[in-house]
Structure 1
Amino acid sequence: MKKMKSLILIALPLFLMGCSSLPLAAQLFKASPESTAVGILFQDDFSEKGSGWDRYVSEIGSTDYDHEAYHIIVNEPITDLFANPYVSYKDTVIEVKAARISGPVDNSFGVICRYQDEENFYTALISSDGYAGIFEVNDGKYKLMGHDEMIPVPAILGGTAVNLIHFECVGTSLTLAVNNEPVDTQEDKSFESGDVGLIAGTFQEPGVHIAFDDFIVRQP
């Protein structure tokens, strides 16, 4: 099964006045032990809606806080939506918990590092049907690094299970792990620093809904 990104449709931030109840997210994400402050550059458990992330809604989809998690819903095929907290770092180790709330398992979701603008950044993506890859997005075009297609990853949990995504952007090295299992490492020097973020998207079938929690950015 070949899984490649060929088109990205980006949404500009708008403020969302309301959000539907999503009790499943509260059930999926259990409280985590408090992280030590040593080495932490940024963290968010999304319990405060004013913590700085994009809040957007349109017919394309939405990105917003709800039930102490951050939700990305994508209602168009072959489309990605993403959100940023508006910070800037060079070398980072990023972790987040992510779960599919609803929609097709043929999806993609993950984290962003060294975000320059809506057309230039690195992203580590996994899918609910068990694939993963590290991408460079340059001038709006996705390039899967080191492979012809996203690679199968047995460590990815399907259904609505929570997956821990770990993405290291250190020097020219980009390293992805899922649920504490190494997945891939690539080298690139296109972007040296930038914002971090979250991303979710569709392939042929729309309706992807991903929830994220416990987003942490650490020093390497």
Structure 2
Amino acid sequence: MRKRITLLTVIVFLINFLTIAYAQDGNRLFSDDFSTYANVWETQDTPDYTADYDQDNLAFFMDIRTTEQEVWSTPRSSLDLTAYVIEVTAVIDATSAADSMAGLLVNYVDEDNFYVFILRASGYYEVRLRLDGEWLDRPLVFGKAPQAESYRLSVQNQNGVFELGLNGEPLVPFVNTELSGGKFGLYAQSGDGPMLVRFDDYLVRDLRPES
């Protein structure tokens, strides 16, 4: 009798596990490993910077050749989301200036209103908010990142409650309701010198309740 109960318990557990896993995967709205042009990210090529697909490394790169220059890109299928999880892997090249930064662009309403969750080449992370064309004086979150060759950045937002992750480790959560909805994308900014960053494995999940 004990063996039957144990076997039944295992079967029920596996069914529940597979159901949960399927439900989580069903919330996936968007993913891109940049191996093709299917999602059509916005590309730019100017004397100051280039944002384009890297066919050799199967990534999306931003190469900024001037100081204090911003670059961002959104995909053609970028949705207007209010509750989401967004992730990306970022590798900032070792030749980049220490004060350069790169990461996730979220709640992008327009060029004057958005959040960024960025990693600095110097090894620090922060969340910044641009509101009505001006950056807030202080970052919403700031901290020291563990040393690594690449970083997996994640942002979860539900009704202005933000939860952050860096290489699978949770960071300090925060609340900010200045912006709701908006598109998602990639962001980079040079500092006192040039910078180069490559992005890979972009993922978006929808956290809105199913209707």
The TM-score normalised by the length of structure 2 is: 0.78
SS at structure 1 position matched to 2:97 = coil
2:66 aligned partner: 76
SS at structure 2 position matched to 1:51 = coil
Q: How far did 1:178 drift?
A: 0.8
After the TM superposition, which residues 1-220 of structure 1 pair with which residues of structure 2 at under 5 Å, given as runs?
37-67=25-55, 68-85=58-75, 86-101=78-93, 102-143=95-136, 144-146=138-140, 150-153=142-145, 155-157=146-148, 161-205=149-193, 207-220=194-207
Contact 1:110 1:125 in 2 (8 A): yes
Contact 1:134 1:176 in 2 (8 A): no
Contact 1:125 1:133 in 2 (8 A): yes
Q: How far did 1:50 drift?
A: 4.2
Contact 2:96 2:121 in 1 (8 A): no
Letter in 2 for 1:111: L
SS at structure 1 position matched to 2:172 = strand
Contact 2:155 2:165 in 1 (8 A): yes
Contact 2:129 2:140 in 1 (8 A): no
SS at structure 2 position matched to 1:184 = coil
Contact 1:133 1:184 in 2 (8 A): no
Letter in 2 for 1:211: R
Contact 1:145 1:186 in 2 (8 A): no
Cα shift readout 1:153-173 (whole Å, capped 9, x = no counterpart): 2x242xxx1111111122111
Q: Relative to total residues, which structure has the larger helix share, 1 or 2?
A: 2
Q: Which has the larger radius of gyration?
A: 2
Segments of structure 1 that go 5 or more residues without pairing to the other structure are: 1-35
Segments of structure 2 that go 5 or more residues without pairing to the other structure are: 1-23
| Count of aligned pairs | 178
Q: Distance in 2 between matches of 1:51 and 1:218?
A: 16
Q: What is the alpha-carbon root mean square deviation over aligned residues?
A: 1.7
Cα shift readout 1:94-114 (whole Å, capped 9, x = no counterpart): 111110234223321110111
Contact 2:128 2:140 in 1 (8 A): no
Letter in 1 for 2:201: D
